[in-house]
Amino acid sequence: MTKKVVVFDLDKTLGYFSQLNCIWEILTQLCDSYREKDFYDLFNLFPEYKRTNIMTILTYLKKKKEEQILDKVMIYTNNNSNKKWVLMIKRYFEYKLNYKLFDRIIACFKLNGQIIEPCRTTYEKTYDDFISCSKLNNNIKICFIDDLLHEQMIHDQVYYIHISPYIHQLPISTILKRINYSPFAENININEFKINLELTLNRYHLDEVINHTDKHSTAQLMKHLQSFLKSSSSPAPSSKKNTKKKYNKKNNKGTKKVYDS
């Protein structure tokens, strides 16, 4: 039986983590005793930062791994924070699942000029780099899920799901209220937190309320995954009626199909 792997992008695919990153950085600056378990509590305080119904998707993949229908689940990201941040998000999802779902993280190529992922050759996401980093053979069937279109990931072995970006930015007042009424307020000066939060979110243009969430997109993602894992051969079910939209892209290997979700 052909082995199959599902590969997620991180940001705007599994969720939206920019504000969460800022909140966590400020909290750990104001109180150096916070540890990863506290990060889980923080994430639980802001469930909107997870893509709508993503836990249903991950629970489904957990089941398919347990049934040995799915071989691996990975993250392939260009997130420009340190790798520790990506690992914490990965472990948070696993904590919620009570299961070690993700087999590998392929992090960004370079950060501040320093190589982070030696197996990558470029900032671009490419099929060749993925195979090199994952140490998988060329016969594996890949379902790749990303909110961006990476031309060099378009390949005969790749079922490419181009998902709509998930963005959820909360009002500063909402963030402050939740922190103030949580155990985090016991260990920090809330006024100092407020000042730092306003400055940081303003600096990174994260203070605007934005809500680009699409339940339909996540429902389509589930249909695509079910199709990918049900098929015994082809990674691209071009005849499936549940495909919302498909279109052709040219690259140096010919015409390939990418599926919008």
CB-CB contact of 18 with 204 (8 Å): yes
pLDDT for the residue 239: 30
Least Cα distance to 151 among 244, 254, 223 occurs for: 254
Every domain of the chain and the residues it spans: 4-14+51-168+215-260, 17-50+171-208
- At residue 261, the pLDDT reads 72
Q: State the pLDDT at residue 214.
A: 77
Closest CA to 176 of 203, 200, 195, 204: 195
Q: Does residue 164 contact residue 217 with C-beta atoms inside 8 Å? A: yes
Please say whether the beta carbons of 155 and 127 come within 8 A.
yes
Structure tokens at 196: 């730092």
Residue-wise DSSP of 70-100: --EEEEE----S-HHHHHHHHHHHHHHHTS-
Q: List per-residue pLDDT tens for the chain, 261 residues long.
A: 789 999 999 999 999 999 999 999 999 999 999 999 999 999 999 999 999 999 999 999 999 999 999 999 999 999 999 899 999 999 999 999 999 999 999 999 999 889 999 999 999 999 999 999 999 998 999 999 999 999 999 999 999 999 999 999 999 999 999 999 999 999 999 999 999 999 999 999 999 999 988 777 889 999 999 999 996 654 553 333 333 345 455 444 444 568 887
Q: Which residues contact 67 (CB under 8 A, 6 or more apart)?
A: none
DSSP 153: G
**Furthest CA-CA distance within the chain:** 59
Q: What are phi and psi of 163, to 5 degrees?
A: -85, 150
Q: What is the pLDDT of residue 215?
A: 75
* DSSP reduced 3-state for 22: helix
Q: Under CATH, to which class is 4-14+51-168+215-260 assigned?
A: alpha beta
pLDDT of residue 204: 94
* Residues facing residue 72 across a β-bridge: 5
Characterize the bridge pairing of strands 141-146 and 4-8: parallel
Q: CA–CA separation, 26 vs 175, rounded Å?
A: 12
